[in-house]
Structure 1
Amino acid sequence: MAKTNKERFLELVSDTPSNVMEDIKWRRENRPWLKRSRGIAIHVIQVLGNRGWTQKEFAERMGVSPQQVSKWLKGQENFRLETISKMEAVLEVELIEVKSFKSGESSTSEPEANSVD
């Protein structure tokens, strides 16, 4: 006898409770740094494309695995300043902009850089 739609649906449904609400809450709480992380990822992807570099080549230059670079470029990495500085050195671009404390003027005029106050 053929299964009913309900029986087929129940076979697909997991017994594990969903964490969707927790995930939504986490994304809302972390929205500010996630936005900056996506901005850095997009900038890096653009630079790699402009230079004709693959993620693997970038990984080799950074001294990390291609999997790590892939993780970074998903835009959900909470970068350490050390990592950002190394990326900037390898790519020879500024990824974040730090405003000068004394004058209030930025240390760079690059419009693509993410500003950190």
Structure 2
Amino acid sequence: MNTATYKTLCRTLDTELQTIKVRQDKKDWSQYSWAIVTLMSKRMSELSLTQKMLAGKMNCTQQYISKMLKGQKNMSLETICKMENTLGINIIKCLNENEQ
């Protein structure tokens, strides 16, 4: 195999490895997001809270809550803490317990 072919194969392999890493990161993120949404939805049901009611308590819009519940919003730690305080649950602690 000549040097040019070898370099091309190395670049292709490197690109494929980066693509796999991005997919894995996205998969990890989506698993956490789904777990958060599940906890959030369950607690909203327990408290009989609508999206609009939760939005009012969190000082955001109903559309924002809707996007979070659909997994279309990347939640910041600040948002997760607001949810914890508003819903009276420990989201981050629950996620860690589920992994063990």
TM over 0.5: yes
State the match for 2:96 in structure 1: 115
TM-score, L = length of structure 2: 0.69
Corresponding residue of 1:79 = 75
Give the equivalent residue in structure 1 for 2:8: none
Task: Report the number of matched residues.
Answer: 78
- Give 1:56-95 correspondences, 5 Å limit: 56-95=52-91
User: Which residue type is aligned with residue 69 of structure 1?
Assistant: I
Structure 1 regions of 5+ residues with no counterpart? 1-24, 98-112
| Aligned-pair identity (%) | 33
Q: Which structure 2 segments of 5+ residues have no match?
A: 1-19
More contact order relative to length (CA 8 Å, sep ≥ 6): 2
Cα RMSD for the two superposed structures = 2.1
Greater percentage in helix: 2
Compare the two structures and name the one with the higher strand fraction: 1
TM-score relative to the length of structure 1: 0.60
Change over 3 Å in CA distance of 1:40–1:64 after alignment to 2:
same
